[in-house]
Structure 1
Amino acid sequence: MHNFLLSLQLKSFTVTSITRHLLAAYSNEFDKKKNAAQYVYRHLKALEHEGIITSLSGESGKAIVFSWSKKCDEDTETQNVLRGPSKINQELLFKIKEKIRRYKAEMLTNMGEAEAYSEWVKEMPDFAEDVKSHYQYTRDQTKLMLGKVKAFERLLVEYETRQ
């Protein structure tokens, strides 16, 4: 979460604003907006506890506004100058993104194939038995590819937050 916040380059932020950015970048990771907001809140509170961010006093009933602590601003600038982007991390992220693209393409191909079998059965119901095993296989392959996509998307999120 820390690296995700840094990538947004915001001076101050709320749970709602970070949730909006998180859902825009990782919509597949959260099934409900509420889950994303809870995730953001927990991590922002943890960062506040570590002294990385501070909460600003706001009007009662209004959202908590967070900003970077002075210590964190200094540490981040020093680390960025010394470290720079890691070539290994960039290669890793590229490989994961490439796998996601490939598995999504395979998944979409399988979905199209399953739809074609279904269409054929509607047009020619007498041949449903001939198509059944092909249809079942492509559905299973679609589920497998979806699982792989989700797994690599989770890894991508994890590795991107570490950067």
Structure 2
Amino acid sequence: MERYPNDFDKKKNATQFVYRHLKRLSEDGRISAIHGIRGRAIVFRWSSESKEDSKLPQLTEHDRNKADDIIATKLQEKIRHYKTEMLMNMGETEAYSEWVQEMPDFAEHVKSHYQNTREQAKLMLGKVKGFERLLSEYEARFS
């Protein structure tokens, strides 16, 4: 957009321009389109005919496996991180519940903290489920 400020006044116009050119290259056979998981994203790559002509380095099987391992490891790290966060939030909510049982006079003061940590625990559970789903789909795709 910086290169063509007069042509693209909005990001949407630039995105459409790029997409149209990618589609044209795909129709010409220079690149191929790969539909993502559940058809949400389209990834373009050099087609097999143009790989010989391409000056881009080709990934070896070892490099692809290494990249796959890195992606799986990153997803597993995120899952561990968010599980830890979720468990800490759950422990905090239990502490607030315990405190209210021991000191009912403070229930009104503790209520907002309790609700906040419960919401955080739910959010972390959602993230854990999301990353676990991504990991299982990723592993299934490359198994």
TM-score (norm 1): 0.49
Structure 1 match to 2:69: 90
- 2:78 aligned residue: 99
Q: Which amino acid aligns with 1:127?
A: F
Distance 2:67 2:141 in 1: 13
Letter of the 1:90 counterpart: D
- Which runs of 5 or more structure 2 residues have no equivalent in the other structure? 1-59
Whichever residue aligns with residue 83 of structure 1, its letter is: E
Q: Which has the higher contact order (CA 8 A, sep 6+)?
A: 1
Q: Cα offset for 1:125?
A: 0.3
Deviations 1:91-117 (A, max 9, x none): 000000000000000000000000000
More helix by share: 1
Identity level (%): 67
CA distance in 2, matches of 1:139, 1:127: 18
Question: Alpha carbon RMSD of aligned pairs, Å?
Answer: 1.3
Of the three residues 129, 132, 137, the one matched with 1:150 is: 129
- Give the drift of 1:162: 1.5
1:148 maps to a residue whose letter is K
2:100 maps to which of 116, 121, 131: 121
- Code of the aligned partner of 2:105: D
Cα shift readout 1:107-144 (whole Å, capped 9, x = no counterpart): 00000000000000000001101100000000000000
Provide the residue aligned with 2:118 in structure 1: 139
Structure 1 stretches of at least 4 aligned residues deviating more than 4 Å after TM superposition: none
Alignment match, 1:50: none
Unpaired stretches in structure 1, ≥5 consecutive residues: 1-81
Q: Which amino acid aligns with 1:101?
A: R
Q: What is the CA-CA distance between 1:83 and the residue it aligns to? A: 3.3
The residue correspondences of 1:13-162 to structure 2 (distance < 5 A) are: 83=61, 86-162=65-141
Aligned residue-pair number? 82
